[in-house]
Structures are given as structure tokens and as C-alpha cells.
Structure 1
Amino acid sequence: MGRALAELNRIEAAHRSIFVAGWRPAVGWICAFAAGWAYIGHPLFVWAAAIYAPGLTPPAIETDNLMELVLAMLGMAGLRSFEKLKGRTK
């Protein structure tokens, strides 16, 4: 099963269509954008709203699930790098 899944992943990654090969990078970009917005964009927006529109209250952003996903992706990337370093994969 593991070899078949690895082969399927290789075939998907080599596909020319962004809808087949691009879903993993898309998840990474979405996580990066969401984390950037949560920790940089939203605080700047709150600051600007306090100056230019004092009555505006921007909605709070829940980051619990986002951070779980980001940390899981970073953990998997770290594991993959460790496997490559040890020579267990190509």
C-alpha cells in the first residue's frame, strides 16, 4: 500500500494541470496567507480602524484550527527533510 501511494503521489505531482499537481502547494499558500493575515494584516487593520473609523469593530479571527494545520504541515515537511537527510528517500 505504501509503495502504491508513493507512486500515485509522484504521478500527481508530475501532472501538468494545476488542479492535480497544485493542491498541496495551494494548501500551503492558503495557510501562509491566513497566518500572515491573522498575525500581521488583522492587527494592522484593527489599528487603522481605530484611527480612521473608531466605531468599527473588526471580527475576531480564530486561529486554533489554523495553527493546528500549519504546525502539522511543518511537522510533515520536517519529517520528510529528515528522511532525505538520512538517505531513506530520494
Structure 2
Amino acid sequence: MIASILPAILPTVGKLVDKIFPDEQAAKREKLKIEQELLKQLQSVDLAQIDVNKVEAAGNALQRSWRPTIGWVCALAFAYHFLVQPMIVFIASISGHPIPLPDFDMSALMSVTMGLLGLGGLRTFEKMKGISK
């Protein structure tokens, strides 16, 4: 986020440096120092984020894979609801042993699935717009 506003800030900072340092060479040196310091600060923010990512990735498998796990659970529930259950009911009724299988609340499954898809869609949108890396 800070890196995206940097190009907008640097010209303003450059104008201020030009007013403070009337000598052109001194102004160039100061602008270079300021730009280097800003880049160094941005790099330190990136390094801190890398450290956070390492800590999060070092967690146990459940912490790392909760989103894919929920995705698979939702996919299996959809498969049961739309494929497996109708097939079992059909085969059981053809064989002369109709069995009532339990049905589950599809609205709860849809809210979880749509929430996951919404998060994934928002993440894709952020990446396309360059907001997030």
C-alpha cells in the first residue's frame, strides 16, 4: 500500500527539498538520500511481512490448511447432496428396498461455500487491481 503512494509523494518531497536547498547539487543529494531512506523503510516492512508469513506457515497442518479443508468439505457435501444421495435412493428403490436418507440444511452449506468463494473472488480482484501481491 505504501509503495503504491510513493510515486505520488516523491514529487512533492522533491519540491520541498528544492525550496530548502537552493544549490541544485545539494538538492539532488538530499532527494537521493530521502528516496534511499524511503526504499529502505519499505524493504524493512516487506521483511517484517516475510517474518510474519514464516511464523504463520510454521503452524501445524490444520492452521495452514483450514481454507482448503473447508473447501473440500463443502465439495464433498455438494457431491453427496446432488450425486450420491439421489443415486443411492434411486438404486435402493429399483432394488425394492427404498430407504429414506437424511437430508441436510442446504442454506447453511451455501452460506459457507459462498463465503469461501467470495473471499477467493475478492482476493483475485485485489491481485488483478494490484492492491495485493
TM-score (norm 2): 0.55
- Return the structure number with greater relative CO, CA threshold 8 A, min gap 6: 1
Kindly indicate whether residue 42 of structure 2 is the aligned counterpart of residue 25 of structure 1: no
Residue type of the alignment partner of 1:67: M
List alignment gaps of at least 5 residues for structure 2: 1-48
Match of 1:3 in 2: none
Query: Percent same amino acid at aligned positions?
Result: 34
Deviation at 1:63, TM superposition (A): 0.9
Match of 1:48 in 2: 91
Contact 2:89 2:98 in 1 (8 A): no
Deviation at 1:53, TM superposition (A): 4.2
Larger Rg: 2
Which ranges of 4 or more aligned residues in structure 1 deviate by more than 3 Å? Answer: none
Higher helix share: 2
1:48-85, Cα deviation, whole Å (9 max, x unpaired): 11112434222223211001110111111001100000
Match of 2:124 in 1: 81
TM-score (norm 1): 0.77
Size of the aligned set, in residue pairs, is: 83
